[in-house]
Structure 1
Amino acid sequence: MSKSYIVPSSEIPGYSPIYRHPKYKSGTHNGEFADITTLHELFGHVVKTYPKKEFLGARDYYPETNSFGQYAWITTTEAAETISELGSGLDMVYAKYAPEVNSSTGQQPIGILAMNRPEWLLTELAAFRSRRYTVGVSDIAGVESAEYNINSADIHVVVCSIDKIPRMLDRADKTPSLKVIVSMDKLDCSKPSVATQAFSKDTVDILKTRAESLNIALLDMDEVIAMGQLNPTEPALPKPSDLCTICFTSGTSGAQKGALLTHEAFIHATRGAHLSLEQHNTTYLSHMSLMHIFDRYMVYSFMYGMVRIGFFNGDATKILDDMQVLHPTVVAVIPMVLNRLYDRFAEETIGVKGICGKLSRLAFRSKVKRIHSGRGYRHSLWDRLIFNKVAEMFGGNVKKLLSGATPLSSEVQDFFSVSLSCDVIQGYGQTETVAGGLIQMSDDCTNNNIGVPNPGVDIRLRSIPDMGYNVTDTPSPRGEMMIRSKILFSGYNGQPERTKEIMDGEWMATGDIAKINSDGSVSLVDRINSVIKSASVMWVEPTPLESIYSSHRLVKFVYVYGFERAHELVAIVVPEPSTFVPWARSIAGKTDANLTELCNSSDVANRITQELRTLASKNQIPPPAMIGAVHIEPVPLDQINREFYTSSLKIRRPIVNQHYKARFDELYSTLDCITDPKFFLEHGK
């Protein structure tokens, strides 16, 4: 029986049939929660259904010791009061400083620049109260600069944490539309937070003087709330067709684009996620940037069944500390972060030498078999002896672990299913689909797929014959995944031509190659613009390969590269120092060599290439996808150039390829896998 519902007689030449969620064969989900049509109404549902429940929480901060305590919470009712007062205050601010509205929508944007914290969501919900829409602003240098966000969205008011204010003022001459900055932190620094550490009354006075000289009003959130208390305004409620946010894409293949997302799209996507996940009384750790879509998609999806949202302390390296205090029931993590956690915990359990390691591996295999046979996640003996220790590091209460953005390897998915005794669910979505699209169902224990279409989402594949992917392929139809649904964006802000490029009538072309598996689930192959064509006339998919190669105990990350004149791939290897250094010292015969010296050793490079080829053989990777030579990079790629990754930690292949072009050519010049003699003439070989 197919996991997806296939719409009868829906195939047309060059396209596969249409696939839908098996429980929602009509393609809609307008029954439950049909009265909720905007995110403002969704929050109203939370307040009405779950009054005075803990809602938004942040950890108490102690500046004397630079440490964090327990979570302090505000309730749904308290949040509603704050949102009403803040919304009224913002009405006063806009009326005084920025009365202009968008001529096409009759709405006004508000920028938000801060790490995840309660004030982020309070600001967004206060904006919705008056038909305003939010724009997440990034202060990362380069293609995701705040200047681009502010100017392209014509933002007049930005709400930010106090530590962002100096840079906002620095760029004032490049953001002429900016008229007001509202600090989430008190400008008198009377309430300490991580953001206020470098500030005092004197430094804030300097900021105020500077803002005044630039004709920018500088207020704090408490002042705006006080304005709203003195001058309460009537809400101007949003319509489903209103914009709720402009969300900038991550930009893996070029400059970022501002996706226009309506309340209707957001509600359709989040309602579908709620119906798929069926989560109630969720405790959720918010740590992925709220500027981007995935975390907000999670937050609003869980609101249907009530959610306590605890925000991380701001330091991504201390996420586990937050989990042990919050005890979340749901955790959402992108694969890059999950892979790092896997490296740590696998090394301490199934990677240990001796009898403890053997016992751990026996326990792991036993539980994997148990889970995949449908006999449940718990094992009284193995959990007590081994795996509860890992579960406790995640707070000891996780019921679902969600992963998106890129495919998750089967090893990592199985490891966390076993260790946390919970569903590990892969999903798929894009900014243009409000992060919704496909998701594995809770009772699905299979690997290497992204599940089935969400309720209310249609998908189909489109043949790409010039790349050898066709919907007539057997046993699995393959092609570019297309999506049709109310979750789709309304276009790119100010870029109608780029919008047209990805639309095929009602269908959006995702740019992702997928296949339909025999059980009706969907698996990603790769991005169209990152597939490598080898000299063997074979299209090589880098992302799943990198996932396999990066699972080796000696490496932290592997980046593969190839081109159509070569029969093999080359790669950048970022080593895992704790395992790599002792291993490499034994290869190089230098007991005191440091990491950089070992990375420059040709003997070490040759041996690690052999290690990766052995791993490839075990995973039945074909010869054109084998690595022939490597460059070992001692520094993680995001530390070499922050533009190698988007802010949602997706790698930008064109930028990486350009940076390492000379190195890749050098590696290929040492191999006997080039079919074109011109290559050797070009490189003097």
Structure 2
Amino acid sequence: MQKRVGQYTVEYESAREATEDRPSTSAVYRNVASLEGLPTTINGCSTMHEVFTKSVQHFGDRKCIGRRERDADGQLGDFAFLTYAETHERCLLFARAVSDLGFKPRGRFGTYACNAVEYAVSIRGVEMLAGCSVPLYDTLGPDVVEYVIGHAGVEGLLCEAAKLSCLGPIAAAVARTVHFVLVVGHFGAQRDAWEALEAAGIKVLAFDEAMARAAERHGVEAASLGDFSSRQSFGATDSAISVHAPSLRSEGPSRRGSSSSASASEAFGGSPGGLSAGGFQVVAPAPEDVACIMYTSGTTGAPKGVVLTHRALTSMVASLGALLAQSGLETNAQDCVLSYLTLAHIFERVVEDFVFSRGAHVGYFSGDLKQVVADAQALRPTLFVAVPRVLERIVERVSSKISRSSRLLRTLFWSGLAYKKFLLHRGVHPRLAGAGVDALVFRKIRAAVGGRLRFIASGGAALAPHVEAFCSAVLAPVMQGYGLTETTGGICFAPPDPRFTATVGPPLATTELRLESVPELGCDAQASPPRGEVCVRGPTLFREYYKDPQRTAAEFDAEGWFHTGDVGEMTPHGALKIVDRKKNFFKLSQGEYIAVEKVEAVYARAASVSQVWVYGSPYEHALVAVAVPTAEFWEEHGREAPQDQERRVLDEMDACARQARLKGFEMVRAVALERSEWTPADEVLTPSLKLKRPQLLKRYDAQVQRMYAAINKK
């Protein structure tokens, strides 16, 4: 049984009726591109090692990875790049270097750093030993770092110099598994941590020193890795170490030297993917080998180690290719992405894997999130990857700047925005919808991110419809995706089409999807439209939670469906609309269920609100909230009495609720204000910027009690 549901989705199998022990389900949905089977390979490649090797063979002289170089005064300049061939040779050299330090094939290699060229080299280099990458969020503190390293059994670690101070206090614990640490950047100021690690028996080396030693030991010609023109390049070493660090090249093909020294590929195996002499051998991973263990940031409890295989990664990259083909957005050599979202998040990892599979290039940000706009202006990316909070900040800042401009400019901007949104909503192609208005009204805003954006990919959390519409009109078409670490980052993705606004789009080509009824929440998977828990099956699913078979078994049913814990609804156009997490639904005292993320998305539209958390007690009949107002709000109203400030914000939130037609029980009845913006360092946000609700309740319990007391008194 196959029934078309919209342009991209089919009902592949029939719905299932409820039984005594199992609720009813919807039909099984697939993408039209996978009627003959779910793809698992890319051009015949079934591992990311094979994918990258083939890209090196096909795109050797194209730009691959790059970063902004610094001049003699330390000022950031233009982006400079390594070609695919040069990148491949660095990865081979990295594999040789870590092998010399005792890293064994199929070992586990950790990364505790922000995104950088060294990070990319380590991923591909570890794959050349069939190794497993274990990325750590660079925002994690010592306790969680110690847990992840010990739990995963990390043997070698790439560490940003600034993070050494977190390793020092846990050196003895880390030394149980870690044999060496490669440091990116100057670490002379971290001498205490360095000495603590060395005293615990861990070898500490500058990244460049390890690479230079391997090159010298095995006769690798410097020129084969790119120019050696700058000490600052490729992770400048500690000043006490005399190493010539290779720099990235601004343009041009890979250069081969004429001396007797061998290139990295010749010394370590000849052609890409080959075997090498001198005791070193490239160990190509198999499709079912573990590519990475991603530790979920989680809102409660210890992080879970999600085990992802090469097959899962290649399947996801294949599905992204099918998505862009369906969207008419094919890639080419000029396409590039700015890498600034942490590679410890699966969303960023698969995007970069996809870019490398297409022969496009990645520019790594300068390491300071405050410089991301300047980095984008220098790189001029064609693809921008963002979590919703990043896009929300763009909307806030643009709106704030426009509100302070002249009356003429305000009128021109808001009229132009309304005009283009109207055309986009009618299905007019973005280029036609932006004819005239893009150059006249939005040109300077687009130039702030390089002026070449073709599309924006948003994932990691729900994106508010007004933010999606704003960015699609002002910057570039927004494609909103949905997935979990357990699904290798993807389940659904929405092409730039007005029919998919406020949804996460149809299933990806590697996904089977169905909804399962949740009777206690009033969700019926066989209603019209179907609504229930999102369940997924396919090759992108994770293998297991590392060292936790009971939890792994609990997430799958007897038919092999992974239960995501999210409640969704299938629209008549065959697109999935996420309602909320099952655990985020809560009941007020009168029996009404609240989908809190939906409510928060509405209140986040208030002009004065930067962040908001909504709470409802099962013993109370109303909702309350804590909001973080914008900097502009505090500048204008900072001297007012606290109750007046709260009333201003609550009035704005009420207006948003009425405009969105929230029900009476979804209206927030009181709000408390917080001056400081929430960050992961406060432990009330995950590294992917999701709210940690139990921690927020603990932190603001006194304010919650005060608000409920005031409501009940009225």
Relative distance call for 1:285 and 1:139 in structure 2 (3 A) is closer
Tell whether the 8 Å contact from 1:329 to 1:400 is kept in structure 2 after alignment.
yes
Which one-letter code corresponds to 1:285 in the other structure?
Answer: L
Q: Could you say which residue in structure 2 is the equivalent of 1:490? A: 543
Q: Does 1:431 align with 2:485?
A: yes
Tell me by how many angstroms 1:204 deviates.
7.2
Q: Could you say which residue in structure 2 is the equivalent of 1:149? A: 148
Q: Does 1:656 align with 2:664?
A: no
Tell whether the 8 Å contact from 2:14 to 2:27 is kept in structure 1 after alignment.
yes
Tell me by how many angstroms 1:180 deviates.
2.9
Measured in 2, the distance between the counterparts of 1:419 and 1:161 equals 36
Q: Could you say which residue in structure 1 is the equivalent of 2:64? A: 55
The residue correspondences of 1:28-67 to structure 2 (distance < 5 A) are 28-29=38-39, 33-62=42-71, 64=73, 67=75
Measured in 2, the distance between the counterparts of 1:166 and 1:320 equals 29
Q: Secondary structure at the match of 2:300?
A: coil
Q: Does 1:646 align with 2:686?
A: yes
Q: Which ranges of structure 2 fall in alignment gaps of 5 or more residues?
A: 19-23, 219-267, 269-279
Relative distance call for 1:558 and 1:167 in structure 2 (3 A) is closer
The residue correspondences of 1:238-637 to structure 2 (distance < 5 A) are 238-278=285-325, 279-281=330-332, 282-349=335-402, 354-378=407-431, 379-420=434-475, 422-443=476-497, 446-474=500-528, 476-505=529-558, 506-582=560-636, 584=637, 593=639, 598=640, 601-637=642-678
Q: Secondary structure at the match of 1:123?
A: helix
Tell me by how many angstroms 1:23 deviates.
2.6
Measured in 2, the distance between the counterparts of 1:176 and 1:221 equals 19
Q: Could you say which residue in structure 2 is the equivalent of 1:191? A: none
TM-score, reference length from structure 2? 0.85
Q: Does 1:2 align with 2:6?
A: yes
Measured in 1, the distance between the counterparts of 2:648 and 2:474 equals 32
Which one-letter code corresponds to 2:577 in the other structure?
Answer: S
Tell me by how many angstroms 1:183 deviates.
2.5
Tell whether the 8 Å contact from 1:37 to 1:264 is kept in structure 2 after alignment.
yes
Relative distance call for 1:605 and 1:63 in structure 2 (3 A) is farther
Tell me by how many angstroms 1:222 deviates.
3.2
Measured in 2, the distance between the counterparts of 1:352 and 1:619 equals 28
Q: Could you say which residue in structure 2 is the equivalent of 1:19? A: 29
Measured in 1, the distance between the counterparts of 2:162 and 2:643 equals 46
Which one-letter code corresponds to 2:506 in the other structure?
Answer: V
Cα deviation, 1:622-641, whole Å, max 9, x if unaligned, reads: 111101001011111228x6
Measured in 2, the distance between the counterparts of 1:210 and 1:602 equals 51
Measured in 2, the distance between the counterparts of 1:453 and 1:181 equals 43
Tell whether the 8 Å contact from 2:426 to 2:498 is kept in structure 1 after alignment.
no
Q: Could you say which residue in structure 2 is the equivalent of 1:683? A: none
Q: Does 1:214 align with 2:261?
A: no
Q: Does 1:74 align with 2:82?
A: yes
Q: Could you say which residue in structure 2 is the equivalent of 1:682? A: none
- Percent identity, aligned pairs only, is 26
Q: Which ranges of structure 1 fall in alignment gaps of 5 or more residues?
A: 102-106, 186-194, 586-592, 675-685
TM-score, reference length from structure 1? 0.88
Tell me by how many angstroms 1:352 deviates.
5.4
Q: 2:97 aligns with which of 83, 89, 92?
A: 89
Q: Could you say which residue in structure 2 is the equivalent of 1:680? A: none
Relative distance call for 1:63 and 1:617 in structure 2 (3 A) is farther
- 256-265 or 205-214: which moved more? 205-214
Tell whether the 8 Å contact from 1:138 to 1:145 is kept in structure 2 after alignment.
no
Which one-letter code corresponds to 1:2 in the other structure?
Answer: G
Q: Could you say which residue in structure 2 is the equivalent of 1:192? A: none
Q: Secondary structure at the match of 2:338?
A: strand
Relative distance call for 1:216 and 1:464 in structure 2 (3 A) is same
Cα deviation, 1:157-192, whole Å, max 9, x if unaligned, reads: 11222333343233112223244333343xxxxxxx
Q: Secondary structure at the match of 2:706?
A: helix
- 537-546 or 39-48: which moved more? 537-546
Tell me by how many angstroms 1:477 deviates.
1.1
Cα deviation, 1:648-667, whole Å, max 9, x if unaligned, reads: 11111121122222221210
Tell whether the 8 Å contact from 2:113 to 2:138 is kept in structure 1 after alignment.
no
Q: Could you say which residue in structure 1 is the equivalent of 2:108? A: 109
Q: What RMSD in Å do the two structures reach over aligned CA positions?
A: 2.2
Cα deviation, 1:381-409, whole Å, max 9, x if unaligned, reads: 32222111111111100001010111111
Q: Could you say which residue in structure 2 is the equivalent of 1:679? A: none
Which one-letter code corresponds to 1:651 in the other structure?
Answer: L
Relative distance call for 1:235 and 1:148 in structure 2 (3 A) is same
Relative distance call for 1:173 and 1:537 in structure 2 (3 A) is same
Q: Could you say which residue in structure 1 is the equivalent of 2:232? A: none
Which one-letter code corresponds to 2:463 in the other structure?
Answer: L
Measured in 2, the distance between the counterparts of 1:516 and 1:179 equals 47
Cα deviation, 1:532-577, whole Å, max 9, x if unaligned, reads: 2123422211112212211111111121111223332100011112
Q: Secondary structure at the match of 2:180?
A: strand
Tell me by how many angstroms 1:246 deviates.
0.6
Cα deviation, 1:250-300, whole Å, max 9, x if unaligned, reads: 202332101011001111111111221244132001111112211111101
Measured in 2, the distance between the counterparts of 1:56 and 1:181 equals 25
Relative distance call for 1:286 and 1:673 in structure 2 (3 A) is farther
Measured in 2, the distance between the counterparts of 1:317 and 1:622 equals 39
